[in-house]
Amino acid sequence: MTLRNLITGGAGFLGSHLVDRLMQAGEEVICLDNFYTGRKDNIRHWLGHPDFELIRHDVTEPIRLEVDRIWHLACPASPVHYQSNPIKTAKTSFLGTYNMLGLARRVGARLLLASTSEVYGDPEVHPQPESYRGCVNTIGIRSCYDEGKRIAETLCFDYQRMHGTEIRVMRIFNTYGPRMLPDDGRVVSNFIVQALQGQSLTLYGDGSQTRSFCYVDDLIEGMIRLMNGEHPGPINIGNPGEFTIRQLAERVRDRIQPGLELTTQPLPQDDPLQRQPVIDLARELLGWEPTVSLDEGLEPTIAYFRERVREGR
């Protein structure tokens, strides 16, 4: 039987790569998006395919569909976008997840939630295993997103306990690759676009904070294994290779235009100092680990942005 998949946020960065993988596997896909940060160009190549449907819809409103699997990714992921209307972000996380769980319960679908390493906040435990409960400021500028994802996880587990809904909770660590928006505001796209335009690269703070960057293809493989597996999670999916933001800037610059300057700007409030996933659970339960190094992943990502910058889009 062909699986019917609903992908919320399917026109976004991660969602559109997932659309590609499921369509290539011969499954049916309904892509649902309100196009806040998503683009039709990301999924244009599937328009008109008999197994593909596109619905413009906001997940804060309920919807009735017949599906087997719900991949719930709808939510802006970049601080610039999720902070531009923080109340909407909190609504998207809470009401969006509530509506999708309601749908999953009604039709007996399995739901995967795209949660985040941000549930660990500015972590006092390093690296972060799933058992760490996090250090999140409830009233800061990142809280709409961090607390939104925390309540979304809570809703999933309460639906599982109360209604037996099948859930899969994935804690995604910083992921990069083609189809991020050039003006997305996240660090990898910012640095690449700045370097391609011959501008200085903007380090927030002194650049000593760390992140661990996962290439999108690895991430999507982990997502599919989690959905197909038996474990509800939460499970960390990310690349344990940890870099300071300064190291990232230097790598990007040296690949594109080695003479460029690195300049500093103030560190945003509550910006986590360090982040690195423990992926023992993913290795054990899903047989998953990342295969693409930062240097290998930067290449196709830079090539993608080179094209976008040349086209002026």
Q: How many residues does the chain have?
A: 313
Of ligand NAD, ligand UDP, none, which one sits near residue 33, judging by CB under 5 to 8 A according to partner kind? ligand NAD
Q: For ligand NAD, which stretch binds (CB under 6 A), given 44-52, 167-175, 273-281, 304-312? A: 167-175
Query: Is there a catalytic annotation at residue 36?
Result: no
Question: What are the phi and psi torsion angles at 239 (to 5°)?
Answer: -100, 120
Of ligand UDP, ligand NAD, none, which one sits near residue 165, judging by CB under 5 to 8 A according to partner kind? none
CB of 66 to ligand NAD, least distance (A): 19
- Per-residue HEC secondary structure of 148-211 comes to HHHHHHHHHHHHHHHHCCCEEEEEECCEECCCCCCCCCCHHHHHHHHHHCCCCEEEECCCCCEE
CB nearer to ligand UDP: pick between 46 and 176: 176
| Contact by Cβ (8 Å): 177, 17 | yes
User: What torsion do the CA atoms of 71, 72, 73, 79 make, to the nearest 10 degrees?
Assistant: -160
Of ligand UDP, ligand NAD, none, which one sits near residue 202, judging by CB under 5 to 8 A according to partner kind? ligand UDP
Site for ligand NAD in 182-221 (CB under 6 A): none
Of ligand NAD, ligand UDP, none, which one sits near residue 68, judging by CB under 5 to 8 A according to partner kind? none
What is the gyration radius of the CA atoms in the chain, in angstroms?
Answer: 19
CB nearer to ligand UDP: pick between 211 and 253: 211
Determine which residue in the list 143, 165, 175, 210 makes contact with ligand NAD, applying CB under 6 A: 175
Of ligand UDP, ligand NAD, none, which one sits near residue 211, judging by CB under 5 to 8 A according to partner kind? ligand UDP
Neighbouring residues of 11: CB distance < 8 A, sequence distance ≥ 6? 31, 33, 35, 38, 39, 40, 42, 43, 54
How many other C-beta atoms lie within 10 A of the C-beta of residue 259? Answer: 7
- Rounded to the nearest angstrom, the gap between the alpha carbon of residue 40 and the centroid of all alpha carbons in its chain is 18
- Which of 231, 225, 214, 226 minimizes the C-alpha distance to 277? 214
Which x/- pattern over 36-75 shows residues binding ligand NAD (rule: CB under 6 A)? xxx-------------------xxx------------xxx
How many other C-beta atoms lie within 10 A of the C-beta of residue 254? Answer: 12
Please pick, among 36, 120, 145, 215, the residue that the annotation labels catalytic: 145
Q: For ligand NAD, which stretch binds (CB under 6 A), given 32-40, 192-200, 201-209, 264-272? A: 32-40
Burial of 151 (0-12, 13-18, 19+ CB in 10 A): middle
CB nearer to ligand UDP: pick between 109 and 170: 170
Determine which residue in the list 5, 34, 189, 212 makes contact with ligand NAD, applying CB under 6 A: 34
Residue type, 276: Q
What is d(CA 74, CA 115) in angstroms, rounded to the nearest whole number?
Answer: 11
Determine which residue in the list 172, 248, 279, 292 makes contact with ligand NAD, applying CB under 6 A: 172
The verdict on 301 binding ligand NAD (CB under 6 A) reads: no
Can you give the binding site for ligand UDP, defined by CB under 6 A?
78-79, 174, 186-187, 190, 202-204, 209, 211, 245, 268, 271
Site for ligand NAD in 70-99 (CB under 6 A): 73-77, 92, 96
